[in-house]
Chains A and B, each alone.
Chain A
Amino acid sequence: MSATHAALADLLASFVSPIIANSIITRALRQQDLDAKTLEAADLRVLAPRLEAAVKLFVEPEHLPKFRAGLDSMLGDLPRRETVVLSIKTERDLADALGTTRRLCQTWRLRPLTQQKIATVVSELARNILSYTPGGMVELIPIDSAGLLVRASDSGSGIPNLEQILAGRYRSKTGLGKGLLGSQRLAHRFDVRSGGEGTVIEAELRF
């Protein structure tokens, strides 16, 4: 049992019984593919929402702020996650971007499936920038504790047949549609603003 795990158990013990505390933790760990023995403070970021959701079931609403405060103080010492900007102008930029994305996901201790989804969305959007525009960038913007916003912007001339593509009705010969549609399916929220001066795509991914 790691120090973080023990600290977490202590925190929960002041809100629920030890048995329930233990099962809340175990369940949250399982949902995030984490191991109690190797649990680190940094893992709390992705664990926090699950723990909160579970604690809500057992505890009166008026105690929840105190629990959140307890979690926040455990999270408080962690370095803030910073936005990362990836420039996309050449094929090499794509490889670099994916490498950076992978390293970031590992630093943030995200589980393999989440890492794969993020990397795939970055790859899809970056490839489209490379294939269809003079260039652009992909930003990785952390959202609260359990989400990431992938924002791809370019200076191309816009996406034709956008509505049909997003509705899954367009049969693209070039593959632009599939990448966009695939990314939309992976994302929790997916917004596209496209016009003659360029396109901005925002894909919000939850951990």
Chain B
Amino acid sequence: MGEQTELDQVSEDRIADILIVLSEVSCSNFETRLPELEEGDVFSTLYAAINEMAATLAAAHERTERYQNELAEKIATIEEQRVAIRELSTPVIEVWDGVLCLPIVGVMDTTRGAEMTEVLLRTVTEKNAKCAIIDVTGIEVMDTGTADHFLRSARAVRLLGAECVLTGISPSIAQTIVHMGAELSGLTTYRSLRDALKEYNRSRSALLATSPALPHAPSVNGRPAPSDRSTSR
């Protein structure tokens, strides 16, 4: 009745071993194992069960570590891709001699905005461009901050001696801007990149036709004549 049975020395040793192994497992040492016992030993089933438990935990731990590493790699890749996408999203394309096009796609945040202006101004200078066309067909939203930003960029481009126009404003964006009272005056806009290029070429050839540098500028009634490349020398 409530008498505690005295354990013999062997059993005490066995229990001590078990306690040691269990505490090692709880410290994440999953390689630890209990020695194999002789058949018939009273503790053999318990020893085997504890060993199996340690092995299962070891496998689970290994899986978790693997998943964590994979996750860390994936996150690193995503970050790299994000940077790459950002770089891709401010390409400046030379669509014509001296004419640059900067397509804006997605959301303009402060960082992208600053990058865009920097790349634009640098390219205008490097390519000695005469015209920069900012195309916003792909823009997500045009709020007052973005509109302001385009105005300021255009002003900077003009200081570099080139024209700067905006193309691709959708009807919804146009209505919203007007409704908000946002100012885009001072910025020339065209409906499409094509319209802008046509107008650029038209005004350019008009300019060249009336340029005093050309000795026999052909003209009919004061307007440039249809192109007839037989300028006499």
Contacts and interface: CB of A to CB of B under 8 A. Distances in A.
B148 A175 contact: yes
Nearest to B172: A116
B107 A120 contact: no
Interface string A17-57: 00000000000000000000000000000000000000000
Contacts, number: 68
Interface residues of B, number: 22
B119 interface: no
A168 to B, nearest CB: 8
A116 B181 CA distance: 15
B181 A182 contact: yes
A9 interface: no
Given A113-B175, A113-B176, A117-B176, A182 B144 contact: yes
Nearest to B178: A185
B109 interface: yes
Interface string A89-100: 001001100110
Contact of A102 (B111, B140, B144, B171): B140
B143 A124 contact: yes
B53 interface: no
B109 A120 contact: no
A185 B107 contact: no
Interface in B159-174: 170-173
A199 interface: no
Interface string B117-153: 0000000000000000000000011111100100000
A112 B106 CA distance: 16
| Among B143, B145, B171, residue most surrounded by chain A Cβ atoms (within 10 Å) | B143
Contacts of A181: 180-181
Contacts of B143: 120, 123-124, 127, 179, 182
Nearest to A102: B140
Contact of A112 (B111, B144, B172, B180): B172
7 contacts: A91-B110, A112-B170, A113-B175, A113-B176, A115-B172, A182-B144, A185-B181
